[in-house]
Amino acid sequence: MNAKSNPESRLNQYIASCGVCSRREADRMIESGRVNVNGIPAVRGMRVKGTDEVTVDGRPLRGSLNKVVVAFYKPVGVTCTERDRHADRTLNEAFSFPVRLTYAGRLDRDSEGLLLMTNDGDLIDKMMRGANGHEKEYIVRVRSRISDAAIEHFRRGVRLRELGVTTRPCRVERLGDFTFRIVLTQGLNRQIRRMCRAEGNEVVKLKRVRVLNIELGAMKPGEQRIIRGEELEELCRMVSNP
């Protein structure tokens, strides 16, 4: 463990600060027995000191003093996971960076577009909190003509019976008979696909073009760029003040 880190902190917070995952996911890793502290299985809620050795799946963690955020254009067919023997192509195979980074808000295998990669655990934790209402913008193409009634339903909120929830009201703009732009402030599993299915339609292409102030712009599938300067400062401000 990095001696320059906080002399004592909660274990899930330390794991998140190393860029491994969010605090919530760290708790799940601890509960599943994947985390050891000084060779002893960890338990939720425990605290660690600067001299403790923390390992995940047998690998020691090293805190990073230099936080980085990278915008990555995830191509279709890439699964947001490190290891999955059923995946044709994993994120680890599609994305590389000198420092270990993880995603803040996943995209499903059949979707493409902007994925934010970072080793800032606090940033991941704040972005993953649905209550913070961070905006994510998508361009969607569906199989059948999207009706005006469906667009209005999306704006007001759609009941997703399989999840037992109604989606939050959102901004929607028609771009054509089969395409529309939608801005969400929540991150339900496969939300847009479920919303379209509830209206009797099917998504054939889904691209995320913006997360908060970070835009995909003219990037092409597989490309990446480091977020710096005013753009990074604005992202941190927006995440800290939802």
Cβ–Cβ < 8 Å for 140, 179: yes
Q: Tokens at residue 185, please?
A: 């402030």
Contacts of 183 (CB under 8 A, 6+ apart): 135, 136, 137, 138, 170, 171, 172
Cβ–Cβ < 8 Å for 198, 160: yes
CA angle 208, 212, 214 (to 5 degrees): 70
Q: Tokens at residue 44, please?
A: 């939720």
3-state DSSP call for residue 156?
helix
Of 52, 84, 108, 110, catalytic: 108
Does the active-site annotation cover 122?
A: no
The C-alpha atoms of residue 18 and residue 6 are separated, in whole angstroms, by: 12
Show which residues are catalytic: 108
